[in-house]
Chains A and B, each alone.
Chain A
Amino acid sequence: MNEFLLVFGAEFARKVRSRAFIAGTIAGIVSIGILVLAPALFARTLRTSSSSVVLAGPPALRTRAAALLRERYDIVAQLDALPLPFTAASLDRYHKAAAAIVLAQEPGRLRIDVYARDLSQVGEGLERTLGPLQLALATGADAAGVARLTQPDLRTHAIDSRFADADAAELAHGIAFALIFVLYLSIIITSQSVMASVAEEKTSRIAELLVATISPVRLLAGKVMAAGTLGLAQIAIWGAAGLVLAPLGLSGVVGSAGGVGAHLPLTLISPTTLAIFLAFFVLGFVQFATVYAAAASLISRTEDLGSVATPVILPVVGAFFLAQYAGVAPNAPISIIASFVPFVSPFVMFTRSTISNVPPFQLGLALVINLVAALACFSIAGKVYRVGLLMYGKLPSLRQVAAAVRSR
């Protein structure tokens, strides 16, 4: 059997049985479960606690205000006057309402008193919601009519968007964020597993026996491929868990305030998005994993792993943050430039391609750049790995590594 396939098979078998892979996969499924199901499970509670109010005031005023408030609040009780002193225990008596709103008509204006545990949950927007009532009181007009008059006919027309409306755009942002997070996690976890594997072979001194048997480049290729395949398998398992759990999450939040499950139905990830995700995962992973492997090949003791790991982890963290920025400003110059910078590009270009109309040539160019970068990384890392595996002692300087790489 081909040496590469043997290394691939052995690495895959070792890793798939490892505690790290099993624990990571289960932890991922549990996290997805929490992410998808928790909003559904708690939607009712959250909604009740954050939007249920007690409305107090003169009946005529209350009736007109209630008509306006019902769009945003659950009015759990209506009172002529609030029993004083009004405390948190008083709110609990009214189905654990979030707040009590007391209305009073003063000359020329509406007075609103709010009693709440957390003013940020209720106070926000109350002025806007009840603004028409004040106008109605001042002018004697119908409050609903005033509300209609003060509500302009807003129509949005996207001229450079791939999405039909704001909801679709918001959905795309959610998908992009979730996938970038998965991309980040997968690349960092799988790359680090390559690093750990190389470090194990180096520090256990089995590396010399291996390189006497097979070419270091094939050894590296087998390792990277096995870790990458396992990373994809892990993503597939997580995706399958998401597919199974998403409907449960959705059914729980329909008609409620919503939650992550409502915003991220995995079935809405298009095949194109999935293909681009896989392409950038593979290309990004090869870039990072080979650099991680080369770094790990330079250490002699496990204790040294931290000193080589930190410098190579920083780019992936930086790339993740740049992708967050690209999610907000996909067409900003820095986002566009970062789309073509190796290591960063897989994250940034994927984000941009998911939420905005990236010209096909830009996407193609980014893929080509990443392909070239992945091959270059593999070639350079292969040379470092080849000499690094046999270097023991003090951690070599960059100059020593460069000299070793130049030698045959």
Chain B
Amino acid sequence: MLNVEGVWRSFGSIDAVRDLSFALPRGHTLGLLGPNGAGKTTTMRIVLGIYAPDRGKVSWNGAPISAATRKHLGYLPEERGLYGRLRVREQIVYFARLHGVSAADAGLGARRWMALLGIEEYAERPCSELSKGNQQKVQLACSVVHQPELLILDEPFSGLDPVNAQIVLAAIEALRREGTTLVLSSHQMWQIEDSCDRFCIIAGGELRTSGTLAELRAAVPDRLVRIAPDLPQVRAVLDRFGRRVANGGGHLDYRLPAGSDFAAILRELVALAPITHFEPIPPSLSSMYLRAIGSPDIEASVP
């Protein structure tokens, strides 16, 4: 279990992280979301023990983050690099060894990850000779070769073409299946939504909301409902319950309170008009994210 409790961290007069708390049980995947400058990278660095928190504490499986704990952690930073002159295999083995893996196991691990990521043929090539996509795969291999219990991936898909992004996604899936606890940060909401079972949205260094997708949705006070056709009597009924946010294309978008009795509303509408479409749309991660960070775009017709 990863436990982040009341963590503060400032740089000079800037509070990068303020009273941040969240927990992540073993084997689960957390999507750490937030706009640029929200404090995501600082949070990750605190979890990894790169920065010490000014206040609060971080623990992994009940133990504070120490040199020994860090052996079980893996990290793929957003800004990543490689030793250009070092060969691919040497590079991966080196990082495995730094995590305390024996030479023999490091060699096996390197071979396994090179095969998984499709970079076996470059094993003896200097990293500087690889394409950017392949270099990113080597970087991922360096982060996971020691089979970390907790793996933190900061923007793992940035700069990858769709094919390579799919390969990395498959690798992350493989890690999930093996029981690796994952913390993922990405601006690609659909990938995060698919890959994670828990979410933590931060902005301005503070936690805005956290929980499973269902818990996040439950906390959203309204629902977007799409109704067709767009008729005056339909609007008259819906205006009693909520707020129209868009219309056009023969349908209406209304925001209704989440606790509304949608079946009763539908029955009332059907009695008044030939309703062809009535769909309460569950809030997407994207909309919940925008709402959590206080983006004005949430008023638009997004679920």
Interface residues, chain A, CB within 8 Å of chain B? Answer: 1, 3, 6-7, 10, 14, 18, 200-201, 203-215, 390, 392, 403-404, 407-408
Q: How far is the CB of A32 from chain B (nearest CB, A)?
A: 29
Contact A204 B52 (CB under 8 A): no
Q: How far is the CB of A184 from chain B (nearest CB, A)?
A: 28
- In this complex, the member of A200, A203, A212, A392 whose beta carbon has the largest number of chain B beta carbons within 10 angstroms is A212
Other 13 A-B pairs with CB < 8 A, given A14-B85, A204-B81, A209-B95: A204-B82, A205-B80, A205-B81, A206-B81, A208-B50, A208-B77, A209-B76, A209-B77, A209-B80, A209-B139, A390-B45, A408-B51, A408-B54
- The answer, among A10, A207, A215, for a CB contact under 8 Å with B67, is A215
- Interface flag for B97 (CB, 8 Å): yes
Q: Can you name the residue of chain B whose Cβ is closest to the Cβ of A1?
A: B97
Contact with A along B122-155 (1 / 0, CB 8 A): 0000000000000000010011000000000000
Interface hits, B42-92 → A, CB 8 Å: 45, 48, 50-52, 54, 67, 70, 73, 75-77, 79-86
Chain A residues near B248 (CB-CB < 8 A): none
Q: How far is the CB of A402 from chain B (nearest CB, A)?
A: 11
Chain B residues near A390 (CB-CB < 8 A): 45, 50
Contact A208 B94 (CB under 8 A): no
Contact A213 B45 (CB under 8 A): no
Chain A residues near B45 (CB-CB < 8 A): 212, 390
Q: Can you name the residue of chain A whose Cβ is closest to the Cβ of B85?
A: A14
Contact A206 B83 (CB under 8 A): yes
Chain A residues near B70 (CB-CB < 8 A): 212-213
Contact A6 B97 (CB under 8 A): yes
**Shortest 5 CB-CB distances between A and B: which pairs?**
A204-B81, A205-B81, A206-B81, A212-B75, A208-B77
Q: Can you name the residue of chain B whose Cβ is closest to the Cβ of A404?
A: B11
C-alpha gap A207/B143 in the complex (Å): 13
C-alpha gap A390/B9 in the complex (Å): 15
Contact B94 A10 (CB under 8 A): yes
- Interface flag for B99 (CB, 8 Å): yes
C-alpha gap A212/B152 in the complex (Å): 11
C-alpha gap A372/B91 in the complex (Å): 36
Chain B residues near A201 (CB-CB < 8 A): 81, 83
Contact B97 A200 (CB under 8 A): no
- Interface flag for B98 (CB, 8 Å): yes
C-alpha gap A404/B10 in the complex (Å): 11
Chain A residues near B250 (CB-CB < 8 A): none
C-alpha gap A145/B127 in the complex (Å): 83
Q: How far is the CB of A194 from chain B (nearest CB, A)?
A: 15
Chain B residues near A1 (CB-CB < 8 A): 97
Contact B98 A212 (CB under 8 A): no
- The answer, among A6, A18, A207, for a CB contact under 8 Å with B94, is A6
C-alpha gap A203/B83 in the complex (Å): 11
Q: Given the known A-B contacts A14-B86, A408-B54, are A212 and B48 also in contact in the complex, defined by CB atoms under 8 Å? A: yes
Interface residues, chain B, CB within 8 Å of chain A? Answer: 11-12, 45, 48, 50-52, 54, 67, 70, 73, 75-77, 79-86, 94-95, 97-99, 139, 142-143
Contact B85 A209 (CB under 8 A): no
Q: How far is the CB of B101 from chain A (nearest CB, A)?
A: 10
Contact A205 B79 (CB under 8 A): yes
- In this complex, the member of B73, B97, B139 whose beta carbon has the largest number of chain A beta carbons within 10 angstroms is B97
- The answer, among A18, A200, A205, A403, for a CB contact under 8 Å with B12, is A403
Contact B81 A212 (CB under 8 A): no
Q: Can you name the residue of chain B whose Cβ is closest to the Cβ of A208?
A: B77
Contact B80 A407 (CB under 8 A): no
- The answer, among A6, A14, A18, A205, for a CB contact under 8 Å with B98, is A6
Chain B residues near A403 (CB-CB < 8 A): 12
Chain A residues near B12 (CB-CB < 8 A): 403
Contact B80 A208 (CB under 8 A): yes
Chain A residues near B83 (CB-CB < 8 A): 14, 200-201, 204, 206
Q: Can you name the residue of chain B whose Cβ is closest to the Cβ of A211?
A: B50
Chain A residues near B54 (CB-CB < 8 A): 408
- In this complex, the member of A204, A206, A408 whose beta carbon has the largest number of chain B beta carbons within 10 angstroms is A206
Q: Can you name the residue of chain A whose Cβ is closest to the Cβ of B78?
A: A208
C-alpha gap A206/B82 in the complex (Å): 5
Q: How far is the CB of B258 from chain A (nearest CB, A)?
A: 41
Chain A residues near B99 (CB-CB < 8 A): 213
Contact A213 B77 (CB under 8 A): no
Q: How far is the CB of B1 from chain A (nearest CB, A)?
A: 20
Chain B residues near A206 (CB-CB < 8 A): 80-83
Q: Can you name the residue of chain B whose Cβ is closest to the Cβ of A408?
A: B52
C-alpha gap A213/B139 in the complex (Å): 13
Pull 18 A–B residue pairs with CB atoms less than 8 Å apart, ordered by A.
A6-B94, A6-B97, A18-B85, A201-B81, A203-B81, A204-B82, A205-B79, A205-B80, A206-B80, A207-B81, A208-B77, A208-B79, A208-B80, A209-B139, A210-B98, A213-B99, A215-B67, A404-B11
